[in-house]
Amino acid sequence: MPISASELLTLTREGLYCPLGRFHVDPTWPVERALITHGHADHARSGHGHVLATPETLRIMAVRYGADFCRTRQEARLGDEMRVGDVTLRFAPAGHVLGSAQVAIEKDGKRIVVSGDYKRASDPTCLPFEVVPCDVFITEATFGLPVFTHPDTRGEVRKLIDSVKLFPERAHIVGAYALGKAQRVMALLREEGWDRPIHLHGAMEKLTELYKQEGIALGDTPKVAAADRKDLHGAIVICPPSSIQDVWSRKFPDPVTAFASGWMRVRARARQKGVELPLVISDHSDWPDLCRTIRDTGAEEVWVTHGQEDALVHWCGTQGIKAKPLHLLGYGDDGEAEPDPAQAAETAEASA
């Protein structure tokens, strides 16, 4: 008798749990053994006993929470099979941010893939998503509505550069999440030929430094000194999303406020945040890529974790794929993993 999916992975208060391997995946509460898909704060929390993650993710956690973010840790090498308890694990790149990984959990020929957050679009700052064929695919649904199709990032970055040309006297303040999005925007700017310094809000500094140490070329990225803000005419400044409307942004010369996020696709969302230059750049899959990925994995069953679950579950039904929402709590709500600004303006602000 083959093993059932629910024997491999169940839902607990802390999040997804594998009883045969005795570990949680991205638990939202401190647990004894945690497997972490990527370094965003809603997935990677501090205080676990033992953490298994990619080396990059472990380093990101150390930067954010201090070296003692857990008791013991273990590096997971992409592609290597590992035996944990009664199951076999394999990490594969998820294309979301530096170090992000999917985890395939397998026993007796049954394979579940927990994809974490992922995207299919190219990203110069991390390895591309790898399709891992599986029986059960666990997917996010942050942009799980057919209105979300992310455009070419080059066009979006060009919009920013063109705006600087049009308004050379104005500072351009770009809101971007501190881990991943900020560095991707920097790398994309470099690809488009922006060779002037990219100025950083203090909150961006440490993680950007880490990216550079990991060998990602981001060029000159000086930190903005308070006294110099007024002189930054025509500069591109990257800051946390909450800072674009904050007192901090006022001192720049006639600032143009931009925001790099998948939410910028919807006008009302952009206006709500007072964004003048919306840049549709997302580290999550858009609707077509969510659908494509589900098909590519060949999964017979799909579990949808966080985001717009209803639409994706419905779509799976129309494709003859069994699907259910997991209603996981605690993801996408800490201001970093692209929470819907309409619902989470408050928390985003609080985390500034």
Interface residues with other proteins (CB under 8 A) are: 120-124, 128-131, 145-154, 245-247, 249-250, 254, 257, 265-268, 270-272, 274-278, 287-289, 291-292, 295-296, 308, 310-311, 314-315, 318-319, 342, 345-346, 349
**Residues 253, 309 contacting (CB under 8 angstroms):** no
By C-beta, is 24 or 282 nearer to other proteins? Answer: 282
CA pair distance 76, 92, nearest whole angstrom: 10
As measured in angstroms, the least distance from the Cβ of 248 to other proteins is 8
- Given CA atoms 277, 205, 154, 272 in this order, what sign does their dihedral have? negative
Considering beta carbons, is residue 153 or 208 the nearer one to other proteins?
153
Minimum distance from CB of 37 to other proteins (Å)?
18
Considering the complex, state which of residue 23 and residue 263 has its C-beta at the smaller distance from other proteins: 263
Shortest distance (Å) from residue 129 CB to other proteins: 7
β-sheet bridge partners, residue 174: 238, 258
Residues linked to residue 303 through DSSP beta bridges, in sequence order: 138, 324
Shortest separation between residue 114's beta carbon and other proteins, angstroms: 18
Instruction: Check: CB of residue 89 under 8 Å from CB of residue 82.
Output: yes
Q: How far is the CB of 187 from other proteins (least distance, A)?
A: 11
Q: How far is the CB of 66 from other proteins (least distance, A)?
A: 29
Query: Judged by CB, which is closer to other proteins: 242, or 305?
Result: 242
Is the Cβ of residue 86 or residue 296 nearer to other proteins in the bound state? 296
**Shortest Å, Cβ 253 to other proteins:** 12
Residue 228 beta carbon to other proteins: minimum distance, rounded to whole angstroms: 19
Closest to other proteins by CB, 136 or 187: 187
- Total number of residues shown for the chain: 352
Shorter beta-carbon distance to other proteins: residue 153 or 221: 153
Nearer to other proteins, 135 or 286 (CB): 286
> Residues 6 or more apart from 115 whose CB is under 8 A from it?
37, 94, 102, 137, 138, 139, 140, 293
For the range 17-23, what are the long-range contacts, defined as Cβ-Cβ under 8 Å and sequence gap of 24 or more? Answer: 18/85, 18/87, 18/105, 20/85, 20/86, 20/87, 20/107, 21/84, 21/85, 21/86, 21/87, 21/89, 21/105, 22/85, 23/52, 23/84, 23/85
- Distance, CA of 350 to CA of 40 (rounded, Å): 16
Which contiguous run of DSSP H or E holds residue 35? strand 33-35
Which is closer to other proteins, CB of 151 or CB of 202? 151
CB of residue 274 vs other proteins: minimum separation in angstroms? 4
Q: Is 110 helix (H, G, I), strand (E, B) or coil?
A: strand
Which tokens belong to 232? 């930054």
Buried residues in 166-175 as b, exposed as e (16+ CB within 10 A): ebeebbbbbb
What is the residue whose two structure tokens read 């419905």? Answer: 314
C-alpha 25 chain-centroid distance: 16
